[in-house]
Amino acid sequence: MTRLFSMTMCLGVLALALFSPAAQAEEQCPETLSHLSEEMDALFKGVHVKEFKRTMRSVLQASIPRAIRRADGIKAQMAFLRKEIQHQVRVEKSADFIARDVSDNPDGPLKPCKRPEETGYCNTVERYYMAKAANLANRAFLKALECYQRQGYQ
């Protein structure tokens, strides 16, 4: 009985340590989204709009704590991001559906076009990759905001 009590107490102390505010405060929230650069570059192979790429690269390097300070509140920013993610998911699904409908290989991966090609398929595939890139950044930013919120940022 004493052994069981000791084990239970040990587990209780471990659980308390793992879920206490002090343990949560030690969580490292990302300061930028630069860790996404490689994944973003892979998506950029399907995007030819230079301004979009430039903007997204600057977003990945931007300071998240500074963005939080500039925003009207972390909750409002999180709500906006959730809506934006939903919108981009719809754009991505729509573009995927349309591109596959006109594709020679509807079951395979969507193939990015070379720059001079200006067909409906190419424009749709580019929109698909832009939506995926936007959502990659938006989801990571939302996750970072949730982390900062757990640490007490308002």
pLDDT tens per residue, range 9-50: 333 433 333 344 444 445 799 999 999 999 999 999 999 999
Q: For 73-127, how does the pLDDT look when each residue is reduced to its tens digit (9 = 90+)?
A: 899 899 999 999 999 999 999 999 999 888 877 888 888 888 766 788 889 999 9
φ/ψ of residue 114, rounded to 5:
-75, 155
Indicate the residue type of 11.
L
Indicate the residue type of 77.
Q
The whole-number pLDDT of residue 11 equals: 37
The whole-number pLDDT of residue 26 equals: 59
Residues sharing a CB contact under 8 Å with residue 134, sequence separation 6 or more, in sequence order: 56, 84, 88
136 pLDDT above the threshold of 90: yes
What pTM was estimated for this model as a whole? 0.77
Integer Cα distance of 116 and 122 in angstroms: 10
Which DSSP helix (H) or strand (E) runs through 115? Answer: none
